[in-house]
Amino acid sequence: MQIEVMEHFGIKKYFRDADFFETDTAKRLFRQLKKIIPEGQLIALTGVVGIGKTTYLEKIQKQLAAEKNVIVAKSLSVEKSKTNLTTLITALFYDVSGDNGYRVPKLGEKRERDLQELIKKSKKPVVLFCDEAHDLHHRTLTGLKRLMEVIHEGGGKLSIVLAGHPKLKNDLKSPTMEEVGYRTVTMSLDASQGILRDYIYWLLDKCTNDNVKPKDVIEDQAVDYLTEHLSTPLQVEQHLTLALEEAYKVGIKPINVDLLEETLSSRIDEIEPTLISHGYNERVIAEQFRYRPSEIRKLFSGGLEPNRAKEMTAEMREAGLPI
């Protein structure tokens, strides 16, 4: 957002820099997580793109680390699609030992034995956070489940929190993942979608000057329009920013419904962005359903033969995709 726009509307900081908006759902899930993490559990925390998973995870990790009742571990690798069991075990060695120079054994058998002993000696439960877990290979997920069992056999406690798109939840339900999915505690942040109205007013309160009221920035009817057409905090931030920039350009203040109708993306409810927000891009769909990429592109654009489009959407809907 341009500085001129911010000054015009009395905005003191970017929306992305607002504090964490903690909903009742988020509070409830956090209480549940704090209870079961010390027990040594496999947990899947899912939510659509933009719902606030990453921010939520950061808050949980900071609080757990501050309380010092459990050891918090996470992989810092930025290549999430290439993260494997070795990457995650290395992160465990570093964070449990507190030494980034720790010499991690290269041989599998010695590596697992050393980790088992290291966690036992720590005398605290350990929790490993895995973000973007929907990208993990099923062999990695199976390996993590078995690693938990190894640690338990050695007298330690290891919990693993897998965070990712709703695709992760669907993957864990598949027959090939029964060994892992059956033992996973699944939680969803998506229930917080019903609080967008409160989020918008909270966001404006946090990001505007003290003498600025929400109605000075956006009309109540326009807030209603946003809550009807958007579904995540990230979408609110993006489209409210676009509306503010357009309002400044054409000299409108506060934002009204007519302006939002002009700026809100017409594609927001189409199949492609909906699937992507749940973790299903063209590559993932092609691999899971053995569809030709050209067919998927035609389906997204509305150019696929009707009977074939009906067949593909029925197959994806049966597999749990939001179509």
Residue ranges per structural domain of the chain: 40-188, 195-263, 271-319
CA–CA distance, 99 with 180 (Å, rounded to integer): 31
Token digits of residue 165: 């798109």
Topology, domain 40-188 = Rossmann fold (3.40.50)
Q: Distance of alpha carbon 279 from its chain centroid, rounded?
A: 10
> pLDDT averaged over the chain?
88
- Among 57-61, 87-91, 292-296, 301-305, the minimum mean pLDDT is found in 301-305
Strand, coil or helix: 11: strand
**pTM for this entry:** 0.78
* CA 157/CA 147 separation, integer angstroms: 11
* Token output for 112: 């697992």
More confident residue, 138 or 127: 127
The per-residue pLDDT for 64 is: 92
pLDDT the model gives residue 135: 86
- Measured CA to CA, the distance from residue 308 to residue 312 in angstroms comes to 6
